[in-house]
Amino acid sequence: SGAGRKHRLSILGSTGSIGTNTLDVIRQLGGRDRFDVLALTGSSNITLLAEQAIACGAKLAVTADAGQYAALKDALAGSGIAVAAGPSGLLEAAGMDAEWVMAAIVGTAGLAPTLAAARRGADIALANKECLVSAGALFVETIGKAGGRLIPVDSEHSAIFQVLEEDQRHAVERIVLTASGGPFRTWTREQMADVTAEKARAHPNWSMGLKISIGSASMFNKALEMIEAKHLFNVRPEQIEVIVHPQSIIHSMVGYTDGSVLAQLGCPDMRTAIGYALTYPLRSTLNVDRLDFAKLARLDFEAPDEVRFPALRLARLALTRDGLQGAIMNAAEETAFHAFVAGRIGFLDMAEVVETVMDQMVDVAPATAIDDVFAADAEARVRAAEVITAR
């Protein structure tokens, strides 16, 4: 029709689970007729990144892995698509003039590029929760000051965002985050002691990247989400509840001062949350499974067990200690996760490493600038590596 300008967007982490789902949503909502894809970024998966860039007519493709620059250049030879690599390449991707940026890199590696996109005033669709856990209020402030919107993509936070109306914020009593409980929901600590990463990554309901899958098994993902909720919705630690809900149908809830509880429900499919973030405040038509309540028959709930899943207790600790404890917890957890996947520590050791580092760094002063966050992150990684080596 030619009516209206195309929506300009970029995807940081396009080759991952969230990234590929985002490209699918874009295709479903009209693809190149409606959207101008400026930049896509990946890391080691060059073939997929090049395919994606060609398919959506991206202007720039970036690999985070500087060693893969030549391979990406080759794969895109003759396409007219610009190529860049490494940290500066990621910043170049973030700096392109997209109005909407999907932050879907995994881990703190996404913080610098996401901040760069935020500083130019882009709307940030946030899957990369580690940014918010780490940089907290400074991250929210950066986006707000530049005039962009922060739209959560994490299913729990999208659910809360969808049911929480601005003029009812004063009446929010509690945020109830649902948790599937992961593959070890009913396991004892003895059973969890010697599980492998292969076993831990098999999530019962969601298909996701490796880190978040392991984080679902240990409930460190929920721990990060508790801190994410605090910064997104500006609630006090005691207003954040976690309830285990094995079917993952209710994606989270908001309880109000009049006793009402509002929930958002759907099949476990990230495309609903991604689509909402893309067309917010409007909704669009998506080809995802619809809930069949008769087939569903029941929804179950259980209190979370902080003894079997100490990550939840550590999140409470980080929330009450505040300051840079979120950044420290996040960085130590990422380090412990890599050590677990490499077979260097056991599944239960991850929480012990994280708690040790959080305790060691309890006196670190709160951040006044983003560099303080990067410094605490780096120190927590060094300390976590030392704790792991000393075990």
What is the rounded distance in angstroms from the CA atom of residue 344 to the CA atom of residue 272?
A: 37
- Distances in whole angstroms, Cα of residue 39 to Cα of each of 4, 109, 257, 295: 21, 17, 44, 42
> What dihedral do alpha carbons 285, 229, 350, 375 form, nearest 10°?
110
The entry of ligand NAD, Mg ion, none near residue 10 (CB within 5 to 8 angstroms by kind) is: none
Site string for ligand NAD, 325-364 (x = CB under 6 A): ----------------------------------------
Least distance to ligand NAD from the beta carbon of 183, Å?
15
Which stretches within the chain are classed as H helix? 17-28, 46-56, 69-75, 86-95, 111-119, 129-146, 155-163, 189-192, 197-200, 210-218, 220-233, 270-279, 293-296, 310-321, 325-341, 349-360, 370-390
Q: Is 252 in the site for ligand NAD (CB under 6 A)?
A: no
Of 13-21, 196-204, 335-343, 369-377, the window that binds ligand NAD (rule: CB under 6 A) is 13-21
Kindly state the smallest distance separating residue 96's Cβ from ligand NAD, in Å.
Answer: 16
124 forms beta bridges with 101, 150
Binding mask 253-292 for ligand NAD (x = CB under 6 A): -----------------x----------------------
Q: What does 64 bind: Mg ion, ligand NAD, none (CB cut-off 5 to 8 Å by kind)?
A: ligand NAD
Annotated ligand binding at 43? The verdict is: no
Binds ligand NAD by CB under 6 A, chosen from 25, 36, 61, 129: 129
Handedness of CA 158, 162, 163, 166 (dihedral sign): positive
Q: Is 128 annotated as a binding residue?
A: yes
Q: Is 221 labeled as ligand-binding? A: yes
CB 336 within 8 A of CB 348: no
| Closest CB to ligand NAD among residues 109, 151 | 109
Exposure string for 290-314, b = 16+ CB within 10 A, e = fewer: eeeeeeeeeeeeeebeeebbbbbbb
- Partner that binds at residue 71, options Mg ion, ligand NAD, none, CB closer than 5 to 8 Å by kind: none
Residue type, 120: R
Residue 133, Cβ density class (10 Å: 0-12 exposed, 13-18 middle, ≥19 buried): buried
372 binds ligand NAD (CB under 6 A): no
| 7, 36 Cβ separation under 8 angstroms | yes
Confirm whether residue 1 is marked as ligand binding. no
Q: What is the DSSP letter of 109?
A: G
379 is in an annotated binding site: no
SS3 178: strand
**CB closest to ligand NAD, residue no:** 16
Q: Does 200 bind ligand NAD (CB under 6 A)?
A: no
Binding mask 89-128 for ligand NAD (x = CB under 6 A): ---------------xxx--x-----------------xx
Binding-site residues for Mn(2+) sit at 154, 156, 225
Interface residues with ligand NAD (CB under 6 A) are 13-19, 42-43, 45, 64, 104-106, 109, 127-130, 154, 206, 208-210, 212, 270
